[in-house]
Structure 1
Amino acid sequence: MTPMTADGPQMSVEEFEQLERHAPETVRLEFVNGRVQVKPVPDGNHSEICMWLLEQCMQLRPDLRLYPERGLKTETYRKGRARADGILVPKGSLKGHGEWSDADTVLMAVEVTSYDSDTNQRDRVEKPDGYAAAGIPVYLLIDRDDCSVVVFYQPEDGRYRREEKLPFGAAVKIPDPVNITLNTEPLKEFAD
């Protein structure tokens, strides 16, 4: 394996994918910014939030599908591997894809924060940059730490140029190409 240096990854993407294939089912690995990361297994409230969003998307945009726990090729030149809590794509877009999909058809990536020490760096810093670099138009962060929903959009040069943060309970407008408004009042129930 390639060792981590100040300006290099811990290993190649191919080495990571081999490692990830052999990891136990109870361990979810990601390769973000050249580092292997263990993604926490979701708790019940995390799963309920994901299901709430899935139902909202199905009702508001029946032409789209929100796939949970989907592996994505992210970052510049697809050198990262992120396991998004959800990706929103046009119906049928994942046909023929392997475990790690290109982000070309992804309209929105979704993360729900977990209560672990890496949440701030992973979900609020690294994931927005990785998703923006992959050209994903919208990144939706449901942040249970401060009971907010953050919409990142307009990716350009590896960063989202726009960001809107609203409290649980607000009507959250998700811009084009998703173009839906979420009533986030039910999220208050899952804040703990």
Structure 2
Amino acid sequence: MTVMLERPTIDGTKPHSFEGMLDALDELNVPDGYSAEIIRGNIVVSPWSKGHYLDVMDLICDQLRPHLPDGHRISSSPALYVFPGAERAYGPDIHVAHRKVRRTDSNKLDGEALSLVAELTSPSTRDDDLTDKVETYGKAGVPVYLILDMQEEQATVLWAPSAKGYEGRFTKDFGEKIHIPAPFDCTLDTDFEALLEAQES
């Protein structure tokens, strides 16, 4: 098993299966302020979101909440969604899923229950957010994947998942409005600074 912490690695014994890696996650003593995912056969440990990311996540959740599909809930709380076919397990920054997926004692949730995921990139996670997760979410049938590229200050929406990945994609600079396709069919304002100022005034 390889454990990646801010991209440096610690080599150990690789589990024989994806299930073995999930078991290893349960036994892993993740430092406070970090979360763990399974990406490309590695356990990747990344820091929690920066403080100002939390405001952006709140603004996104507030805008999407009135447009959720029936029975779905939105959250930015830590949660691990599992994709056994791709041997991946991700903890998205924002996740929308049917409320039934939460009715379990397991800390591993079914990725097929997701209707939207959003990731806010950081220098340590950006490559995976833009590549590995795009492929996995698309092939798994997650209807909408929203990427907030915090380094480039751009929002990208991917939709129309298929066996090849996402068929639809468009990008807008922060400050512009971007359409979030079905099952949400709404507009997201990415002028986060103006939205925060309006809340504080």
TM score, norm. by length of structure 2: 0.79
What pairs with 1:158-169 in structure 2 (closer than 5 Å)? 158-169=164-175
Structure 2 equivalent of residue 31 of structure 1 = 38
Indicate the RMSD between aligned Cα atoms, in angstroms. Answer: 2.4
Which whole-Å deviations, capped at 9, do the CAs of 1:125-171 have from their partners, x for residues lacking one?
A: 01111111221011000111111110011111141111110011111
Counterpart of 1:49 (choices 48, 56, 65) is 56
Unaligned runs of 5+ in 1: 3-9
Could you list the structure 1 runs, at least 4 aligned residues long, displaced by more than 3 angstroms after superposition.
59-64, 90-93, 187-190
Q: Percent identity?
A: 22
Structure 1 equivalent of residue 19 of structure 2 = 14
Q: Which amino acid aligns with 2:119?
A: E
Q: Which amino acid aligns with 2:43?
A: V
Structure 1 equivalent of residue 139 of structure 2 = 133
Which whole-Å deviations, capped at 9, do the CAs of 1:45-101 have from their partners, x for residues lacking one?
A: 122211111211224448542122321112x61521111112112445422362221
Does the CA contact (< 8 Å) of 1:31 and 1:37 recur in 2?
yes
* Greater CA drift, 149-158 or 97-106: 97-106
Secondary structure of 1:107 counterpart: strand
Aligned residues: 180
Distance 1:187 1:138, change over 3 A: farther
Residue 104 of structure 1 and its aligned partner are, at CA, apart by 2.3
TM score, norm. by length of structure 1: 0.82
